[in-house]
Structure 1
Amino acid sequence: MTQDRREFLMKSCGALSMAAIATQMGHLGLMSAFAQSGKNDTVEVPSDYRALVCVFMAGGNDGNQTIIPNHTVGSSNTWDNYNNARSSQGLALTQAQLAGTTVQVPRIGNLDYAFHPSLGIQTPGTNIVNNGLHELWALGKLAAVTNVGTLVQPMTRTTFLNNSVPKPFQLFSHSDQVSQYQGGRSDTQSFTGWGGRISDLRSAIDNPAPPALIPMITSIAGAQLFTAGQSTLPMAIAAAPTSLATVLAPSGFNLPTVPTPGSTIANRYNTLKALRDQARLDPSKYVDAAGDVTKLAMDANDALQTNLPVTTVTFPTTNIGNQLKQVALMIKKRSDLSMNRQIFYVQLGSFDTHTGQNTTQVSLLQQMSQAMRAFYDEMVAQGIGDKVTQFTMADFSRTLNPAGTGVNVGTDHAWGNHMLVVGGAITASNFYGMNGANGTPYPQLSFNTADDSDNGSGARGRWVPATSVDQYCATLARWFGVPSADMATVFPKIVNFSNSGGINTDLGFLVPPAP
């Protein structure tokens, strides 16, 4: 083997260092994409585009403070219940504070419920670029899936307290509950994520490579279980303002945004391309494979360097705003990358508000609302508002009973939580999920009642979920294109959640895909 060939093989590995999630060998994501080549000979590739965008609220967002009853008559679950539990320690929001983000919920008799004020219109200022998520309710583009949580099988307060059904593994533990939300199973530890398992099942069908140039799933927030598959690996890239021209740049070539034709850097890059093509003629399968993978990486890099996209909508320059902006830019390059289906992961941290919640959560929800709304508006501007769905996940919710008082007031780890879904494919703005013990999908905000997993004088309000993570996420997967026959592969315990019509993998909050 000549020195040039040895250098080529070294560059073949170096050219693919894209900050891969599972290892530091960034080429593996593209190798897994390339490995799907030729596997779709008898399957029709979809002609449309769809994307799922997971927004993870790391630390566990307080759902009790995110969606709040704002009626005082008409049900047994009113603002008074909420206020009685939280006002004495300084955590309750007044009805006047909630007036601007109050909506009527058809599922619960058109009674008034309110989103946290941070999801509404904000005082103009830095990183306030839109009217927030609340406004999308009236447009039919925002839904809430309420009292969602990790479950092995359906559970009630009674079965929880008498231990008659299996409980989620290490309930109330941050790391374990994150693993169960991202892994899509609550009975044991998982080493793959449900996003990654969708990629395993669907990459060869939806995004055959070639022509697809990158993996189906991308993280803008580093290594995450959600994105890890068994046979496919994800890609991880930096958030904006990092240019797409550099996120896949071959290692060792120090490419600028666009290499100047004739420059030393450009000549080195073109030489590598030529060596790559020459190596693919070598009878060695290893060299041929290296050439194939390198070609995929270089083609992806070239695609991202050509006609760099810009967003039509202004994004906030917050951490979550920059992550979602980068997702929007990647989606804008979907045709150049030959992508029909994509899954993205972004994350906003610091929701573990044991103290100082009135300051911390207010800021975090505002950042999330502004960024998710900007992203939705950008998808509409790109003409694919109904093809891209954002959804939230979190470790768990927080206790109804606060911890501490005054400026130090916070909340502790709880269970059932409320999730938001945003996009043009929303069936209708409403609350979704299974009915709990009170006959609605929203839990009773009172201690020691039928929705509370706590018992006795020390009860703090940790809701037994009425809807499992499996059901919530299976609804998203179904819309994405995962057939019913494959649901148990993606969500191994989904078979435990059935109704009279069979396994319940559709909560109804997304318009089903066309047959």
Structure 2
Amino acid sequence: MKRSIKINKESSRRDLLKMAGGCAALTNTSLLSTMLNLSATNSAVAQTSGLTGYKALVCVFLFGGNDSYNMLTPMTPSEHAEYLTARGGDYSAGNGALGIPASEMAATTITDSSSGRQFGIHPSMPEVKTLFDQGKATFLANVGSLVEPTTRAQYDSQANLPLGLFSHSDLQQHWMTSVPQSRSQVTGWAGRMADMMTDTVNTNPAISMNMSLDNVNLLQTGGSVVPYVVTENGAQEVGWYGPTWTQAKIFSQLTDEVLARSYGNLMEKTFAQMNRTALDAAISFNGAVDQVTGVDEYFPGTLSGLQRKLRMVAKSIGAHETIGQTRQIFFVGVGGWDNHDELIATQQANLAEVSKALKTFQDAIDGLGLTNDVVTFTASDFARTLNSNGKGSDHAWGGNQIIMGGPVTGGRIHGQYPLSLASGTTLDLGRGRLLPTTSVDEMSAELAMWYGVANDSSMEHVLPNIRNFHAAGSTYPIGFLS
């Protein structure tokens, strides 16, 4: 299928020439991201050698702040009673309460094999329950952006805290940069990781090892690497380039002529060469993913937006050898999580979409024979207040995330799920805003170590604050991966 932008069919030869010789290859993000990668002047700060096999990381970012204590809820009777009190009671009472009764989570209850505690996965997420039971999904509890391990006393004294706590833009940036003490950081931890690796693991400089199904994002942006942006249907090509009908043939011929022209000006010559490479990269990328078989069968019927994006991720993973990559990082954004109003109904629909999409994606990865080579993880700005505002919940801090794939250490909850969600605990900063007990840095470091970054000075470049949380060496910070 042609992924293209269109130009008017009534365009004259002069118009076509203007398009071909002007900004034709700059009219979409797939081609522009190729050109940005080709024009990068910053060299990688380090090289990672000895990487073998294939590995991919997939980030599903829930923009707006997922109310994740309804996604993973304590079910031990005394703990659940405290949870209901904190949430204002059972939501079915119709009084603005946000608590989910235990009876609704009977079918999605799991047991943490480490502590014996029981938890309820949101009732709209039976697929995630299945993945947990299969050992292919786990949860990381009460994780959030931190500069250093932080106590309640340090929080009260405002000592070395992330900037702009409880702000969407700040916390999204902190998740992506892992430098929460700064608003001026212009690279993300996955981008810095790609800077170190790209010469070793990517034989196709026209297509970044970091791919985004949304747009250019800070997480994947490095000093020399920017994400290659594609749509749910693939890389966007230049309209009219390639088809065999008359005007398209004229346009294609003119484009080829302009890009092959001998330019005396170095800038014009370089620009033409980059346009040529970018155009060809989009075509070759689409050709590679179109040849992947055994993915569409896992995405039947009417698909959600997230399923369509993850289907393209699965095809890109299946095409990694043809594309020329042994390491890939994908970013998929999902909006709609800032639920100050109508939380219960909105979150039920949102979590159902995530659950179905994660299961179909994992099934597709299994079908490709890459179960142990792909790790998917969720991220979100922050969790939300346990206390209700009357209709929904407000901005908070520490929350729970899903980690999925063959390498996960299943059957248990990782991190430190609060022993009590009652108000007034040392973790409660007011209204059920919970102080994180696990840092985003620890989560990111474990993902990076599995991906191939050595836990030495290389890790310190990827995650500048990591030594505040985890010493150098070969041991994983948390243990959610094996």
- TM-score, normalized by length of structure 2? 0.85
1:225 to 209, 218, 223: 218
2:320 is paired with a residue of what secondary structure? coil
1:176 to 170, 182, 187: 170
Bigger mean CA offset, 363-372 vs 481-490: 481-490
- Identify the residue that residue 426 of structure 1 maps to in structure 2: 408
2:321 is paired with a residue of what secondary structure? coil
Alignment of 1:157-236 (within 5 A): 157-163=152-158, 165-189=159-183, 190-208=185-203, 211-236=204-229
Amino acid at match of 1:427: T
- Identify the residue that residue 313 of structure 1 maps to in structure 2: 298
Counterparts of 1:168 and 1:236, CA distance in 2: 29
Tell me how far 1:506 sits from its aligned partner. Answer: 2.9
- Identify the residue that residue 489 of structure 1 maps to in structure 2: 461
CA RMSD of aligned residues (A): 3.1
1:238 is paired with a residue of what secondary structure? coil
Deviations 1:53-102 (A, max 9, x none): 111111101111111111126xxxx1111122221643221221111111
Counterparts of 2:355 and 2:195, CA distance in 1: 32
- Identify the residue that residue 129 of structure 1 maps to in structure 2: none
Size of the aligned set, in residue pairs, is 456
Deviations 1:143-174 (A, max 9, x none): 111100111100122322234x3111011111
Amino acid at match of 2:218: L
Tell me how far 1:212 sits from its aligned partner. Answer: 4.5
Amino acid at match of 2:114: R
- Identify the residue that residue 337 of structure 1 maps to in structure 2: 323
1:371 is paired with a residue of what secondary structure? helix
Aligned: 1:14 with 2:19: no
Describe the shift of the 1:268–1:425 C-alpha distance in structure 2 as closer, same or farther (beyond 3 A). same
Contact 2:377/2:403 (8 A) holds in 1: yes
- Identify the residue that residue 349 of structure 1 maps to in structure 2: 335
1:99 is paired with a residue of what secondary structure? helix
1:225 is paired with a residue of what secondary structure? coil
Where in structure 1 are there 5+ consecutive unaligned residues? 21-25, 121-131, 434-439, 455-459
Amino acid at match of 2:173: S
- TM-score, normalized by length of structure 1? 0.80
Amino acid at match of 1:396: F
1:63 to 68, 80, 91: 68
Counterparts of 2:370 and 2:441, CA distance in 1: 27
- Identify the residue that residue 249 of structure 1 maps to in structure 2: 237
Tell me how far 1:35 sits from its aligned partner. Answer: 5.8
Contact 2:44/2:224 (8 A) holds in 1: no
2:344 is paired with a residue of what secondary structure? helix
Amino acid at match of 2:459: M
1:306 is paired with a residue of what secondary structure? helix
Aligned: 1:473 with 2:479: no
1:118 is paired with a residue of what secondary structure? coil
Contact 2:195/2:225 (8 A) holds in 1: yes
Bigger mean CA offset, 49-58 vs 443-452: 443-452
Amino acid at match of 1:461: G
- Identify the residue that residue 386 of structure 2 maps to in structure 1: 400
Describe the shift of the 1:199–1:299 C-alpha distance in structure 2 as closer, same or farther (beyond 3 A). same
1:191 is paired with a residue of what secondary structure? coil
Deviations 1:325-384 (A, max 9, x none): 222222232222112211111111121111211100000000111111111111111111
- Identify the residue that residue 84 of structure 2 maps to in structure 1: 83
Amino acid at match of 2:123: P
Tell me how far 1:289 sits from its aligned partner. Answer: 3.4
1:259 to 230, 233, 243: 243
Amino acid at match of 1:112: Q
Contact 1:52/1:342 (8 A) holds in 2: yes
Describe the shift of the 1:483–1:263 C-alpha distance in structure 2 as closer, same or farther (beyond 3 A). farther
Amino acid at match of 2:24: G
Counterparts of 1:369 and 1:11, CA distance in 2: 46
1:84 is paired with a residue of what secondary structure? helix
Describe the shift of the 1:50–1:295 C-alpha distance in structure 2 as closer, same or farther (beyond 3 A). farther
Amino acid at match of 2:327: R
Tell me how far 1:291 sits from its aligned partner. Answer: 5.1
